[in-house]
Chain A
């Protein structure tokens, strides 16, 4: 019997704007307008400032912890721009702030969360974003469920879910990809491959040459893009979104980027990463190439840069002011939102602040009761 090829595949790598700011005009056709690129670059400045101020706040004890987004702004903005605000849905992990802000999430929500207050997870109505997910990978299945609901209701909407290279080792990734392709739901899988899962390098996370090729086993399309290239990310995500909406199948986008900061403020990446490696990636920073491109097109200059930086500073300070101005939660609030209607037993606990047995005797309470302000 002759040996035949049962299946063959290849993974493409897309880059449109290189690290020197040079654009491939042919590939860039039909992607971002000049206005969009200027807008995106201005947001990069704003959100980088916000990122920096968050780091400072944590160091001075005003923020509990914070995962820096530094260096990954193009991945978040390019994909966020490709999804339709108010129509499509974003199911994030925790390192794509820019996409969430673009879709209407008030930045003070993210700040409040990292300041140690889960009211920051309360998403304003009309903002199609789920709360950031920190257990690693669990959100991918939520995204598939959401997309499945869209499909059942025959709504022309699409979901994008974000996760890191580390999360592709979780069973949830496999299960989510498998369900998504089997049910053919309108979902885009967006992997921010930032090379490091805390201290574990990408090579130790998986023996695959690429993350993108993992798509093939599930019957999905896989594509690798330069994640620091706004154009490539936008183009790949737009195509993936349209394909998913049309029932054409799932796309797994692997955005090659780099975590220029630490995993979180609780980490010190200098202990396990080479300075030379970090420096080589710092040169590929999306902000550098985007600015170079805009300058080469005559769309940007020193004056605009200075003004944009002033704007970013004011923007970040405003977010700090807003998030620090929110009063602490009342103790009794911890009993809220557990059930649609609070059960009697829980109500009694809330009113006496006692565990079950002690709560039988609220009249003998020697403890603080509800309504008192916590310290």
Chain B
């Protein structure tokens, strides 16, 4: 019982998930920019070239549209590609492949050609990377049917969700954050997976429901701790996947609290927050004692200057203010 819990970094959890699945299934390979010789631009694939060799850990030319398309063909041939985008921002040049081909292959081929590819990489503001390198793609891509979207907030989920993603028969967009890669957390050495579509309740309380996913879950936890000091206890739901979305857990919580604040690191217009609130209104309108609120980024490109970037993102102060507003 007193045994020290094994703690590893977020990036190590990702690496373990990929390595374990590659040992388990020889159809799995990793391709991307700088993943092999350089050990990954963010060192996620450190040492993997040594273990699996250059046929399974593959440095690609700078050609996102090219290697995204290659993955489609490889998956058609029965392989299980993991495609690393150095940043999801760079996936925009591969839009025709990942949005117009990948999610539709099975549908258009009458169920013949599935596309079990995992596309993974850094999503969101990485810390002064400027507007072209700070894309949060979940708002944009979650609009597209045919993909699954996983977005972990901690190392445990990162490993468990990625293993599930690699085993999944559908394409999965796996969204990480450069700002969390160094985060440490408990990850058991034993085999486990985290299922898609099951939210985790991170804090419990009756006052309000905080709904989030990915990095801002951590801001919600900070806000919950802050609110607790003044006697306000809130539910914090970590969605873990956006598609599928565990709306049932949200409604169950809202039924108890009567209030909901959705925290989302995407732009507000047509965001995942918009979708969550729409569904709450559609399914749980009568439980609400206050209109749902959302904390998104400001509706501008991600600013480059440090102080502006902080002001632009969701943060503890904004979340606390939103919760207090629902209680006013």
Contacts and interface: CB of A to CB of B under 8 A. Distances in A.
Q: Do A and B come from one complex?
A: yes
Interface in B273-328: 291-301, 303-308, 310-312, 314, 317-318, 321-322, 324-325, 328
Contacts of B132: 134-135
A368 B41 CA distance: 36
Interface stretch (B57-65, B74-82, B137-145, B205-213): B57-65
A197 B304 CA distance: 24
Contacts of B317: 367
A364 B62 contact: no
B298 A335 contact: yes
Contact of B305 (A117, A199, A200, A361): A117
Interface in A41-92: 64
B34 interface: yes
A200 B63 CA distance: 13
Interface stretch (A30-38, A165-173, A300-308, A313-321): A165-173
B107 interface: no
A331 B301 contact: no
Contact of B318 (A167, A355, A374): A355
B321 A358 contact: yes
A10 B38 CA distance: 35
B66 interface: yes
A118 B61 contact: no
Interface in A187-202: 197-200
Given A64-B128, A170-B93, A355 B298 contact: yes
A7 interface: no
Interface size class of chain B, counting residues whose CB lies under 8 Å from the partner chain: 35 or more
A182 interface: no
Interface in A348-364: 349, 353-358, 361, 364
A355 B268 contact: yes
A46 to B, nearest CB: 27
Given A116-B306, A333-B308, A358-B322, A197 B37 contact: no
Q: Which interface residue of A137, A172, A331, A335 has the most chain B CB atoms within 10 A?
A: A331
Interface size class of chain A, counting residues whose CB lies under 8 Å from the partner chain: 35 or more
Given A64-B128, A357-B293, A117 B304 contact: yes
A328 B307 contact: yes
B295 A170 contact: no
Nearest to B321: A366
Contacts of B308: 329, 331, 333-334, 374
A335 B132 CA distance: 16
Nearest to A333: B308
B133 interface: yes
B244 interface: no
A289 B195 CA distance: 63
Interface of A: 64, 116-118, 134-138, 166-167, 169-172, 197-200, 204-206, 271-272, 328-329, 331, 333-335, 338, 345-346, 349, 353-358, 361, 364-368, 374-375
Interface of B: 33-34, 37-38, 41, 59, 61-63, 65-66, 89-90, 93, 128, 130-133, 268, 291-301, 303-308, 310-312, 314, 317-318, 321-322, 324-325, 328
Given A116-B306, A335-B300, A358-B325, 5 more contacts: A169-B63, A329-B303, A329-B307, A331-B308, A334-B303
